[in-house]
A and B are shown apart, each in its own frame.
Chain A
Amino acid sequence: MMDPSVIAQTMLVIAVEEGTVLLLAALGEIYAERSGVLNLGVEGMMAFGALMAILTMMATSSYVLAVLVAVAAGLSLSLVHAVLSIHLRTNQIVSGLAITILGLGLSGFLGRREGIIGRPIVALPDVSVPGLSAIPVIGPAFFDQNLIVYFAYALVAAMWFLLFRTRLGLNIRTVGENPAMADSLGVNVYGIRYLCTLVGGALAGLSGALITLGYYPAWTEGMTLGRGWIAIGLVILATWNPSRALLGAFLFGGVTALPNAFMSVGYQQIPSSFLQMLPYALTLLVLAAASIRGLRKKVAPPAALGLPYSREE
C-alpha cells in the first residue's frame, strides 16, 4: 500500500497532464461552437497534430517547429471543415466526422509509412515555477509542468477575457446566437465563423502535440484514445465558458487516473468504470438542466449551433 499523499499527488499530476490535453482542444472547440459551428473533427485534428509533432521533432529536433507544424496540421484540417460548413453549408455532423476519419487516417498512414512506431523522442522538459512548485501535493502537479501547460493556463484567462470583455468576443457570441441579427448589424458572420473554426483546429493540433511531445513521446496508432470526443463533451460540461473548462478538464483528466489509483490502493479496476462515467453523466445533467425554465439560458448551447447561415434564407 502506497502512501496516500503520494497517490494523491500522482493522481493530480495525471489529472493536470491529461486535463491540459483536453483543455486545449476544448478551448478551441468552445470558440468554434460559440460562433455556431459544430466541429466533430477534433479527434482527427488531434491525431494528425500528434503525429506531425513527433515527425517534425524527429526530423528537426526542434520543439518549436514541432509545435508549429502540429498547429498547422490542425489548422489545415479545420479549414476543410470550415469551407464545407460555412461556405458550402453542408451537414456539419457529417463533415466533422469526415475530418475525424481523415485526420485519423492521415496520421495512421503517415506514421506507419515513416516507420516511427514506437520510436521514442525526448519529451518536453518540465519547467518548475520557483516557490509554487514546492507546495506539497499541488505544487508538483500544477507548477512543475512543460511550457505548453503553462501556455494553456494563460490561454484560459486570455480566451475568457477575449470572449467576454472585448468587442470581438461579443460579436462571436452574437453570431452564435443570432447570425441574422449580427449580419444586420454589420458583423462579418462568415469571417468570424472561419476565425473560430480555425482557432479550434489550431488548438486541437496543439493538444495533439502535447500528447506526443509531452507525455507519450513515442507514436503508436490510435494514441489519441478518443480524447477529442471527450473534449467535445467537456465543452458542454463547461457550458461553453473557458474558465469552467479548466475545472471540467481536470475533472475529466482526473478520472482517467482512477484505474491506476484504484489498483495502487489495492482495489481492482472495476468500480473505476463507474466513476469514469461520472463526467459524462454530469454533462448529461447539464444538458437536461438547460430545459428547466430558470436555468435554461444560463447553460444552453449557442442557439445557432450547427445551423448553417445564409443571408437569403
Chain B
Amino acid sequence: MEGNPRVDSSLGDYLVELRGIVKQFPGVLANDHVDFQLRRGEIHALLGENGAGKTTLMNVLYGIIKPDSGESYVKGRKVHIRSPKDAIALGIGMVHQHMKVVEPHTVVENVILGLKEPRFLLDLKEAASKVKQISERYGLKVDPFARIWQLSVGEKQRVEILKVLYRGADILIMDEPTSVLTPQETHELFSSLKTMAAEGKGVVYITHKLKEVFELSDRVTVMRKGKVVITRGTEGADERELAKLMVGREIFFHPERTARPPGKEMLVIEGLNAINDKGLPALKDVSLVVREGQILGIAGVAGNGQKELAEIIAGMRKCTSGRVSIGGADVTNKPSKFVFEKGLAYIPEERIGVGAVPTLNVAENLAVKSYRYRPFSNRGLLNREKMAASASELVKRFDIAAPSVETPALFLSGGNIQKVVLARELSGVTATEPPKVVMASYPTRGLDVGATEYVQKVLLQYRNEGCAIVIISEELDELLALSDELAVMFEGRIMGVLDRDRFDPESIGLMMAGRAAEVKGG
C-alpha cells in the first residue's frame, strides 16, 4: 500500500514536512520523490534496510546534503537548509551513529563546543548547571565534569543528545542509536525520548529493528530503495506486513548459479562469542556451516556483528569462546597467517588500505601474502622476477587492466583494485591452488556495473569448482541471486538460515528486523 500523505493545509501541525525530495548519487537514486512529515509530540520511526534512503533523507533535513529537488518546511515555513548550522538554527538536531565527541574534554566542554556565545570567558559552572537541568529533565544522567573517555558508550551518546538539546532543538533525528547500547541503556534512552515527545518535541527515529518501532514510535514510515512504501500509525500495524514491505522484491537468480549437490563441510563455526572494539558483545553464540561448492550469504543491516564475524574467521580478531575450523583444521584464535595457510581467502571490506596498498605496485600487492613462501622468496631473499612473472599471469587470468605489473595500485580503478585482491586471494597461498574457503566482505561495494558483474561471476566460478564461500553484503539482491543459503544476522545472532527454496521476503525482513523466523535445520 503506497501511503500518500494528506497534504495538510494547516502546516502548523507539522514540525517538519519534506515534499518530493529527490537525491541522485552516481549510480543510485537514494531518494525518489520522498514525502515525509513529523508531527509535534510524535516519535516517528523511519524503517528500512541498508541503502533504503533513510539516512540520506535525514541528511537532507539536517543540511549535510542538498537535495536535487523537493521542498522542506519547518514549523510551517518553507526553508532552505544549506548546512548543519542552518538546521541547528531552526531547532533541528541530529545524533549520529558514530559519535563525534572529543575524548579528553569534559562533558560540558563537548556540549558547548562550537557555540558562538559565550565568546571569551567560559562560565563552566553555569553551563554545567544548564546541562544538569536538561539532563535531569529528560533522564539523561551524566556527570557534567566527567571526561569523555571515562564514560560508557551509552553515556557518550547522552552527551550527544545533550549537545543537541542545549542548542534548543525541538526536532531530534536519532540515527540507529541502539546499535551501541546495552538493554538497560536502551530502556533509559527510550524513556528520555518519550519525555521529550510528551513535551511537544518531535523525534525521527531511524532504525531497522521492528521491536523498537513498536516499543517507541507513534507512526512509522517504511522506505525501500529510495521510495516511501508506507506511512502509518504504529498501533495496530502488523509486523510481518512491515517486514515484507521493508524487504519485498522479486528475486532474480543469477544465470550461472547451477544447482549443485553440496560437498563436505569446509567451514564450521560453533558457538562463537566475541566482543567488539567498544567492549560490547558483538557475536552471541553464532554457529554456521558452509560446504564445498556452496555460497552462504550473510544478510543484515551493517553493524550487527558481520564485521566482527569476518575478522574472526580471518584470524584478525579473537573470539571469547567457540570454535572455527577450516577443512577440518582448527583455526580458532590463530593468527591470520596460520588461517590463510590453512586455505582461507579473505576479501576485506576495506579494499583500499587493507586489501590493497595504494603505494605498492600491482606485483607487490599480489605478493603481499605469498611473498614469504617459495618460489617468491628463499631464506629471506626476495625473488622479484618470479613475483613479476606470477603477477603477469594473474593479471591475464583475472583480466586486470593495468599498464604493467609495476604500476602503483593507486592508479587503478576501483574495480581493477578489487580484481587484484581477488586474484591474490583466490589463487591461494602458493599462487597455484585455489583456497578452501573464501570470506568476502562487501565485495562489490562501490563498484560499477561491469566490475560488480565480474566479481559475482568469479565468485560463482570458484563456487562451482568446489570452494566454500561466505559473502557478506548489504545488497540483498546480490545475496539472493548468488547464495545457496542465506543467514540473517541481528544483534550478533544468527536469526535464521534459509535454504534457497525458502527465500521469502517476509521471513527475511522479519529476521533482519529482529524477529526469529523458521530456522533451517542443521
Contact = CB atoms under 8 A, between A and B. Distances in A.
B102 A178 contact: yes
Nearest to A302: B104
A173 B148 CA distance: 14
Interface string B91-104: 00000000010111
A58 to B, nearest CB: 41
A185 B102 CA distance: 12
B25 interface: no
Contacts of A173: 102, 104-105
Contacts of A177: 102-105
Contacts of A184: 84, 100
B448 to A, nearest CB: 23
Given A185-B113, A186-B85, A297-B147, A166 B105 contact: no
A240 to B, nearest CB: 10
B127 to A, nearest CB: 11
Contact of A170 (B100, B113, B147, B150): B113
A176 to B, nearest CB: 9
Nearest to A181: B100
Interface residues on A, range: 10 to 19
Interface string A167-190: 110100110011001101111000
A165 B85 contact: no
Contact of A186 (B100, B114, B149): B114
Interface stretch (B45-53, B118-126, B320-328): B118-126
A173 B112 CA distance: 13
A185 B84 CA distance: 9
Interface in A91-143: none
A87 to B, nearest CB: 24
Interface in B98-154: 100, 102-105, 109, 112-114, 118-122, 124, 147, 149-150
Contacts of B124: 165
Contacts of B85: 186
A67 to B, nearest CB: 27
A300 interface: yes
Contacts of A187: 114
Select the residue from B100, B103, B114, B124 with max chain A CB neighbours within 10 A: B114
A174 B102 contact: yes
Contacts of A168: 120
Contacts of B113: 170, 174, 182, 185
B37 to A, nearest CB: 28
Nearest to B118: A167
A49 to B, nearest CB: 30
Nearest to B112: A170
A185 B149 CA distance: 21
Interface string B475-515: 00000000000000000000000000000000000000000
Contacts of A185: 113-114
A177 B104 CA distance: 8
A297 B113 CA distance: 19
Given A177-B103, A181-B100, A297-B104, A170 B121 contact: no
A178 B118 CA distance: 21
A297 B103 contact: yes
B332 to A, nearest CB: 26
With most chain B CB atoms within 10 A of its CB, the pick from A170, A181, A300 is A170
A300 B100 contact: no
Nearest to A296: B149
B56 to A, nearest CB: 19
> 8 tightest A-B contacts by CB?
A185-B114, A297-B149, A177-B102, A297-B104, A178-B102, A165-B122, A181-B100, A174-B102
Interface of A: 165-168, 170, 173-174, 177-178, 181-182, 184-187, 296-297, 300, 303
Given A170-B113, A174-B102, A297-B147, 20 more contacts: A165-B121, A165-B122, A167-B118, A167-B119, A167-B121, A167-B122, A168-B120, A170-B105, A170-B122, A173-B102, A173-B105, A177-B103, A177-B105, A178-B102, A181-B100, A185-B113, A186-B85, A186-B114, A297-B104, A300-B104
